[in-house]
Amino acid sequence: MHIHILGICGTFMGSLALLARELGHQVTGSDKGVYPPMSTQLAAHGIDAGHGFDAANLQPVPDLVIIGNALSRGNVEVEAVLNQRIPYTSGPQWLADNVLRHRRVLAVAGTHGKTTTASMLAWILEQAGLSPGFLIGGIPRNLGISARAGSPGGVFVIEADEYDTAFFDKRSKFVHYLPEVAVLNNLEFDHADIFADLAAIERQFHHLVRLVPGNGQLIVADNEPALSRVLEMGAWSPVARFGRTDQAQWQLKDGFEDQQFVVTSPDGEGVVRWRMSGEHNRRNALAAMAAARAVGVTLEQSSAALTTFASPRRRQELRGSVNDIQVIDDFAHHPTAIAMTLEGLRSVSSHGRLIAVIEPRSNTMKLGTMKARLPASVASADEVYWYQPATLGWSVVEVAKACPVPAHAMTTTEQLIDALVEKARPGDRIVIMSNGGFDNVHERLLDALGQYYGQEVDVGA
């Protein structure tokens, strides 16, 4: 079958393309704003991502078009699909029909940490010999690819997003996934472009909970009022709590040295020694370990796997360094995620300064819904640079003025790179946060630093 995917370079749709290709289909696709790592991953697997939307991309006529949720009426290819009566479906529906119905699904949901937690869970299952299938909204460095089908009847890990499915299906994507095990990692207001308030998102999470069978399991974070309200609407599956409270069956305790923590579980106590940092990542790991136990993985197996876990691409990813100045890439695009990323980086080193560079790019950010929370989110940084994308409907100057640390507002990436090269000193860590390509600032900054110091770029692992 020839499948054409609209929005193929999105993290979900690009992963879907890999699955379709693995299942033997001919796969083509269209998108705009094509950038790594998804564009390079698709190219490496022989999938033509195209550049831009055009009705001509639908020739020869595909057997099926999968339409991403970023596409809507008015898009030239969407209109051509409708006018020509070409069969179409949504990504989540295709995934449910062709992959998930034949596998034991472990779904990871939550406002933050989905990609990292799902990557941890897939790696734990891989190291335990279960050869999981998975679809993750990023590229797990341990596994080297964002999706694979796995075997029918086997386990399948999916990053379960509450965003809507398609312009013709406004349900949350995750209601299609029918999980046996569902991780509810955290929950706060986000996606202001489609949800009116937190209560509306809680209702969607309740819909997910309703789908978990009685012989499945819910893995739920403690001390999360919104998730407690979700469960109060009804829960028909066993619930395992994780966190730091006495009510949690999976409890997190501090270790005796950096990058180590202790886990108390229903099966006893274990110690995890790893390369990750931050309280949020320790909680992510706890959730992954609890979910892995639900399909038979022991505490010892999980602890051993996490020792070798590497963060997914674009999650505190070291892109390179010049003259002991590190450039780090992170996907954080919500005030809570920004704060957690900076706190985590701060916790592992006080050597040199921590300089934050932030592009408010997400749909929620564009609406200004989170603007008042942004200044406090950078408190763990030594200095911050706010970038003003052309699509932003408010001025970052106001946010910069309200920050508790020295802050600057930048209107061009050229201006931003020049300022960073002038400011950076050996020992500094520059963390660049955006959920988009950010005009390739990461590589351009490394090149500029290399030219300034007359040194080669030491490429990150």
- Amino acid sitting at position 14: G
The closest alpha carbon to 321, from 430, 176, 175, 222, belongs to 430
Cβ atoms of 137 and 161 within 8 Å: the answer is yes
Query: What is the distance between the alpha carbons of residues 173 and 290, in angstroms, rounded to a whole number?
Result: 23
Sequence length of the chain is 461
Is 371 marked as binding a ligand?
Answer: no
Residue 41 CB partners (closer than 8 Å, separation 6+): 14, 18, 139, 145, 146
The closest alpha carbon to 91, from 222, 202, 3, 204, belongs to 3
**Residue 381: strand, helix, or coil:** coil
Is 111 marked as binding a ligand?
Answer: yes
Query: What is the distance between the alpha carbons of residues 235 and 238, in angstroms, rounded to a whole number?
Result: 8
- Which DSSP symbol is given to 136? -
Is 113 marked as binding a ligand?
Answer: yes
Instruction: Outline where 272-334 has alpha helix (H).
Output: 279-293, 299-307
Please calculate the CA angle 375-379-383 and round it to the nearest 5 degrees. Answer: 90
The pair of three-digit structure tokens given for residue 393, joined into one six-digit string? 């409907």
**Residue 393: strand, helix, or coil:** coil
Q: What is the CA radius of gyration of the chain?
A: 22
Is 115 marked as binding a ligand?
Answer: yes
Is 116 marked as binding a ligand?
Answer: yes
Binding-site residues for ATP: 110-116
Binding residues: 110-116
